[in-house]
Amino acid sequence: MRPETLDATFAALADPTRRAILARLATGEATINELAEPFAMSQPAISKHVKVLERAGLVTRRIDAQRRPVRLEAEPMKAAASWIDDYRKFWERRFDALDAVLDEMKAEEKKSR
């Protein structure tokens, strides 16, 4: 994944309203009006959030007669999760090494008793 794409994904995910919109879209596509229902904000404010998600590639809109439903596009999140997973693996290796050192210290302590 290109760094600018990853940056846009994380920037879009940083806002709790946008994360809530994505959670809603995980259940199926929705219009801006439908997305705005649970929030105490205007339709234009929700549209701005959707535009940020759209620029990050996290959602797409399609034209369906008079409607413009918004749909979740999970690929950028998959790439971000993969990036995070690399760091999870790093920390797991570090914790495994620490466990080995602690086990060695316990064994040495038992020998000295």
| Per-residue model confidence as pLDDT tens digits over 17-53 | 999 999 999 999 999 999 999 999 999 999 999 999 9
Contact 80, 2 (CB under 8 A): no
What does pTM read for this prediction?
A: 0.75
Task: Domain count for the chain, please give it.
Answer: 1
Contacts by residues 39-42 (CB-CB < 8 Å, ≥ 24 positions apart): 41/17
- Decide which of 3 and 28 is more confident: 28
Q: Which domain holds residue 18?
A: 3-112
CATH number of the CATH domain containing 15: 1.10.10.10
Distance CA 111, CA 64 (A): 75
Distance CA 51, CA 98 (A): 45
**DSSP-assigned states of every residue in 36-63:** HTTSSS-HHHHHHHHHHHHHTTSEEE--
